[in-house]
Amino acid sequence: MTRCTRLPARRACLAPAAGAGDHRVGCRRAPGSVARVSRSAEVARDVPPASPWRGRTVVLVGIVLVALNLRIAVTAVSPVLDTVRADIPMSEAQAGLLGTVPVLTFALFGALTPAVSRRLGMEVTVVVSLLVSSMGEVVRATTGSAGGFLAWSVLALAGMGMGNVLMPPLVKRYFPDRVGAVTAAYTITIAISTTVPPLFVVAMTDDWGWRPALASWAAVGLVAVVPWVVVVVRSAAARSALAPVLEHTSEHTPGLDGRERGTGRVRRSPLAWGLTAMFGANSLNTYFLFAWLPQILADAGLSESAAAQGLALYAVVGIPTSLAAPVLAARMRRPFWLVVLFVALMVVGYAGLAVAPETGTMVWVVAVGLGAATFPLGLALIGLRTRTSAGAVALSGFVQGFGYVVASAGPLLAGVLHGASGSWTTTYLVMGATLAVVLVGGAVGARDVRLEDQWLPERPDGADGTDTIRG
């Protein structure tokens, strides 16, 4: 537990040398005084080292390479799915599952990741996730049945789902002074991971066949293993060199055992539910648009190629906002107004597609593309609203585990609504209504509190001479 000691002219909270993770959890009360945290001490702890990237370059490269691997198994398949089905008998239902399985797999394995990380450690878990995804991609390309293709796809996606959850806590552990900038870097890389495979996989299939073309993307995951093996092997020396940074992002939160850190306390946190609501409702809209935007644009009168270009535009315009949103959030005490801005852009885009789909079509596509920036904003807030890497792992698993379950309903719900009404207007109205959930969740999740302040166990006031301080 953090203890307060009287220093000349001021009181300050001193973190213990080993395992200091939570800097505002409690203070030893002097007789007749009220326990409080020195704001100046908190600011001093956040001062970055003299060279912001010194000793962390390998980790930064590792984070970027993991991000580059996070969407490949999804987006490399759809452009050559007809070629795959010509070689492997696959029903329409089985082919349709390929569109649903990624989100559900991300949800399931994302929820399991905090437990695995507590047992193995984050860095080793990253290596395992990369090896699992690469193995799934390679073996999937050798299978001769639809069931095998789906099963090995799940394995590839499982590794990527684990990687999704590990990114925010890795940033929190190694870059607590650069959460916004590093989050921006890896969310941009995720966007690149989404857009690059479709640009090349068709030509690769024409030259090599679909099996080598799909298997070759496993090389990205294998290359990403290298820096993390270096981190694991050199962990003792690295932790010594980075002690000024790592001492503030301990895996341990005082007052909690391992079980409570992973499960029991997170679900009681309003912050966790707020971020989950924001992430889930935003992802619901995002996956709806990725699944149906080409059809929407085709129904508006665009050619098949123009509709495909519209989908690419939707993905590309998210890159600058992926850069801006995390950086701005890190500079703002309460970045709720960013949530309002992005939701307003989504509303404008939906309204334009509903009222004037043939006029300024690409303007509306740009609007919904920019509005999707609550995704990188949510990832940044996972790091910004936690004090420890253990808290970030638990919060990330909770938010993404539940959030991707909600997201999986987007394409199906949109298809049902369109089929029942015969137009997209009803779909826009329903999806637009879910943006209210993004606003409410953002209002809670953007509050200037920290997860660990909300999940500490209750203590009687003054018990053991401590006070529990909550955000």
Task: Please report the pLDDT score of residue 224 as a whole number.
Answer: 97
Task: Please report the pLDDT score of residue 23 as a whole number.
Answer: 36
Q: What is the pTM of this model?
A: 0.77
**What is the arithmetic mean of pLDDT over 204-211?**
93
CATH number, span 52-250: 1.20.1250.20
**What is the arithmetic mean of pLDDT over 365-393?**
93
Q: What is the pLDDT of residues 107-153, one digit of tens each?
A: 999 999 999 999 999 999 999 999 999 999 999 999 989 999 999 99
Q: Domain 259-471: what homologous superfamily?
A: MFS general substrate transporter like domains (1.20.1250.20)
Looking at the chain, the domain(s) classified CATH 1.20.1250.20 span: 52-250, 259-471
Tell me the CA distances in angstroms from 127 to 17, 130, 222, one per residue in order: 29, 5, 9
91 pLDDT more than 60: yes
Task: Please report the pLDDT score of residue 237 as a whole number.
Answer: 61
**What is the arithmetic mean of pLDDT over 317-337?**
91
Tell me the CA distances in angstroms from 468 to 189, 245, 397, 457, one per residue in order: 40, 25, 25, 8
55-69, 82-96, 102-116, 351-365 — which is least confidently predicted?
Answer: 82-96
**What is the arithmetic mean of pLDDT over 372-400?**
92
Contacts by 242-246 with C-beta closer than 8 Å and gap 24+? 242/55, 242/56, 242/174, 244/49, 245/49, 245/56, 245/174, 245/175, 245/176, 245/177, 246/173, 246/174
